[in-house]
Structure 1
Amino acid sequence: MKRFDQVNVIPFIDIMLVLLAIVLTTATFIYQGKISLDLPEAEHAETLSDLDGVEIAIDAQQQIFFNQAAVDAEALGRELALLTAQTPVVLYVDKSVPFDRFVTVIDLLKANKLEKLSIVARGNR
């Protein structure tokens, strides 16, 4: 039997590159978010360059999400009470959500003196 003095690393590198491609692809989909929203369109929407702060989303089923975690309005109020007035809030609302649900969230923001608010919409391309 022939003895190998060296290890062939080429197959190992091939496998690692395939795994890296899978991880990068998966990370891209995870970054885009798990909450499915059909955002309203706006002609004069500005591009947000800095999305720091907390994210609140309301999906088509009127479920509220705080930083990707499903919460009810009462729990959202408790979470918002822990934030400082300078905390930026980014609000994503599905275009099919009734206006009163939107107003409920805005009212909770105002009650907790969170006025640094960005509402996300799709711009025309």
Structure 2
Amino acid sequence: MRDKSFESLNMVPFIDIMLVLLTIVLTTSSFIASGRIPVNLPKASASNDEARPAETIEIDAQGKLFHGGAEVDSATLRSQLAALPRDTPVLLRADRAVALQGFIDVADLLKQLGFAKVAVQTETGHS
């Protein structure tokens, strides 16, 4: 019996395998690089009343602080917030005329105390 000579190697199956492996590597590396899968979340025109924050901090146009409807200074606000559990949701409402520094001071206080569930209330629509 005579053996057929080995003249050429068919490269098409090897190229197919390499392209599949390249696709898998590129797909996996994009998930690893970003750390998460990008998702466009839906937008709602109205908020859910069940998810209302338990604590409300307000800043009026003159920069006065209010916690739970009562006027407080920054030291009192700090002591009141320090007594709360860190997973308590907080709603921060600031008048549009308030100085940015007043808003940043309250936001910084919340960050220093370790509150992670902080929402800023805004109005919908254009005015």
Shorter-chain TM-score category? 0.5 to 0.7
- Counterpart position of 1:76: 77
CA distance in 1, matches of 2:116, 2:73: 21
> Closer, same or farther in 2 for the Cα pair 1:45/1:122, shift >3 Å?
farther
- Residues 55 and 91 of structure 1 are in contact (CA less than 8 Å); yes or no, is this contact kept in structure 2? yes
Aligned length: 82
> Closer, same or farther in 2 for the Cα pair 1:47/1:103, shift >3 Å?
same
Identity %: 33
- Counterpart position of 1:108: 109
- Offset at residue 86 of structure 1 (A): 0.6
Normalization by structure 1: what TM-score?
Answer: 0.61
CA distance in 2, matches of 1:45, 1:55: 22
- Counterpart position of 2:26: none
1:48 equivalent in alignment to 2:47? yes
**1:73-115 CA distances to partner (integer Å, 9 max, x unpaired)?**
1110001101111100001100001111001101110111011
> Closer, same or farther in 2 for the Cα pair 1:80/1:97, shift >3 Å?
same
- Residues 45 and 121 of structure 1 are in contact (CA less than 8 Å); yes or no, is this contact kept in structure 2? no
Gap runs ≥5 in structure 2: 1-42
Runs of 4+ in structure 1 off by over 6 angstroms are none
- Counterpart position of 2:19: none
RMSD (Å) for aligned C-alpha atoms: 1.8
SS in 2 for 1:65: strand
Normalization by structure 2: what TM-score?
Answer: 0.60
Higher RCO (CA-CA < 8 Å; seq separation 6+): 1
1:1-125 to 2 correspondences below 5 Å: 47-49=46-48, 50-124=51-125
Structure (1 or 2) with the larger CA radius of gyration: 2
- Offset at residue 69 of structure 1 (A): 0.7
CA distance in 2, matches of 1:105, 1:115: 14
Normalized per residue, the structure richer in strand is 1
CA distance in 2, matches of 1:124, 1:80: 32
